[in-house]
Amino acid sequence: MLPAEFEDPLLLVPGPSQLAPPARRHVGRHVGHRSEMFRRVFRETTELLKRVFDTSGDVHILTASGTGAVDAAILNFIKPSDKVLALVFGTFGRRFAEQASRACSKVYRLVVPLGTTPSPAQVRTFVESEGLKEIDVAIMVFNETNPGVTLRELPDIVRYVHDLGGIAVVDNVSGLGGDYFSCDKWDIDVAISSSQKCLASPPGLSFITVRTPEAERRLSSNTCVSTYFDLKLTKKFLEKNETPFTPAVNLLFALRDSLDFIVNNVGLDRWIRWHRDRARLILDVLEKLKLRPFVENSDVRSVTVLSFLYPESVSPAEFRSLVYRLYNIEIADGMDDLRGRIFRIGNMGWVTRRDILALVAALASAVRVLTGDRLGSLDEALELVAKANLLV
């Protein structure tokens, strides 16, 4: 058997994801970031990102993880005196609120139980209970990878935020390209995402869109204490299709090729449908194996991160370890309060029918090895995979 480092695992975690085939060819390119070739690729990349975000506004590309882009949004759009409304229904919403509290002292956190998302009525009731007549900024996660839920009523919540005089800053790191999302149609002021999730590109790049006059005014009037993350500076360079500092050039080329493949080859709507069809298939197949989803309400269940309760009488760590050691497939544990309670499957990027087939066999085999029991109807599960209408 080859050592593990010679064989890439099948990544079915909540990021990074499997790369799209065109994104794999630029690691060794030598291109200067002040060259005409770079400016052309940078322009093409920003235009493609606008189509994926569905926005007419600016798209700023940062050499940073998604967490870096969240920091950048906070540094550029939140002032020390602001009143900030934070919606918390998972790990990354809580982290968003914690990051915001470093920039201002008035962060009002609406926290709802894990596995649920806040409704517009809950948001309104919370705001009224806090005695807030207006807010400056609302921060929220669209797709929360832990526990695996999506804020489906985001457009209504954004409208309410605007009624309160605030701007909405939305983290969609783990959903962009894998589920329907529109900055323009939903009137989102600022949106955040990154390269290594549903866009099937290497990690290391993140993006911030700025599309409303209110967001632009707030950006122009705020003094960013960071030079590297100052979006006023990146905007000046954006106008000439450059970045103020050395970017991850090779990653940008890979991202351009992946976006071009998604938008112009596959088609963005088809790419999103592929994610949704795969999610439905994985849920149906694992149900045949008697594995229960953690999120009970299917209306808020994430398309791109699927969470399941561990099989009874199975050690969570042994279960994941066996799936990796025997089949070289990575799945993820839960985080924070859900650690050891759920396992999570990333349905992001380039995941094929063969990959799902391998996942089904690995999960069933791991339970059989650990308990001696068969896990539901494996034959029916395999038949579902065989008959599924998938892109690849």
| Cβ neighbour number for residue 263 with a 10 Å cutoff | 18
**Contact (CB, 8 A) for 295 and 117:** no
Q: Is 58 left (phi over 0), alpha (psi -120 to 50) or beta?
A: beta
Give exposure, 203-213, as e/b (b: 16+ Cβ within 10 Å).
Answer: bbbbbbbbbbe
Instruction: Supply the pLDDT for residue 262.
Output: 98
Which pLDDT band, with edges at 50, 70 and 90, does 5 fall under? low
The alpha-carbon radius of gyration of the chain (Å, integer) is: 21
Give start and end residues of each alpha helix (H) in the chain: 36-53, 66-77, 91-101, 120-129, 154-163, 213-221, 231-238, 249-260, 268-288, 316-327, 353-371, 378-387
Name the pLDDT band for 26 (thresholds 50, 70, 90).
Answer: low
Task: Give the C-alpha separation, 194 to 78, whole Å.
Answer: 21
Contact indicator for 317, 310 with CB cutoff of 8 Å: no
Please return the burial class of 118, using the count of CB atoms within 10 Å of its CB with bins 0-12, 13-18 and 19+: buried
CATH of segment(s) 21-256: 3.40.640.10
Question: 28 pLDDT exceeds 70?
Answer: no
Burial (0-12, 13-18, 19+ Cβ within 10 Å), 183: buried
Average pLDDT, integer, range 177-204: 98
pLDDT score recorded for residue 382: 86
Whether pLDDT at 187 is above 90: yes
* Span 266-283, pLDDT tens digits: 999 999 999 999 999 999
Compute the average pLDDT of residues 49-64.
98
Establish how many alpha carbons lie within 13 A of residue 162's alpha carbon, considering only the half-sphere containing its beta carbon: 15
Which CATH number describes the domain made up of 9-15+267-387? 3.90.1150.10
Does residue 344 register a pLDDT over 90?
Answer: yes
| Model confidence band, residue 23 (pLDDT cutoffs 50, 70, 90) | confident
The total of other beta-carbon atoms located within 10 Å of residue 130's CB is 13
* pLDDT, tens digit, 9 for 90 and up, residues 73-102: 999 999 999 999 999 999 999 999 999 999
**176 within 8 A of 15, measured Cβ to Cβ:** no
Residue 101 CA to residue 97 CA, distance in Å, equals 6
Band of the pLDDT at 313, cuts 50, 70, 90? confident
Nearest of 73, 72, 70, 64 to residue 93 by alpha carbon: 70
**pLDDT reported for residue 57:** 97
Per-residue pLDDT at 253 exceeds 80: yes
The domain locations on the chain are: 9-15+267-387, 21-256
Within its chain, how far is the Cα of 38 from the centroid? 27
User: How do residues 213-248 score in pLDDT, each as one tens digit?
Assistant: 999 999 999 999 999 999 999 999 999 999 999 999
Q: What is the pLDDT of residue 29?
A: 66
Q: Does the structure show a pLDDT above 60 at 3?
A: no
| pTM, 2 dp | 0.95
Q: How many residues does the chain have?
A: 392
With b for 16 or more beta-carbon neighbours within 10 A and e for fewer, the 79-116 pattern comes to eeebbbbbbbbbbbbbbbbebbbebbeebbbbebebbb
Residue-wise pLDDT tens digits, 38-52: 899 999 999 999 999
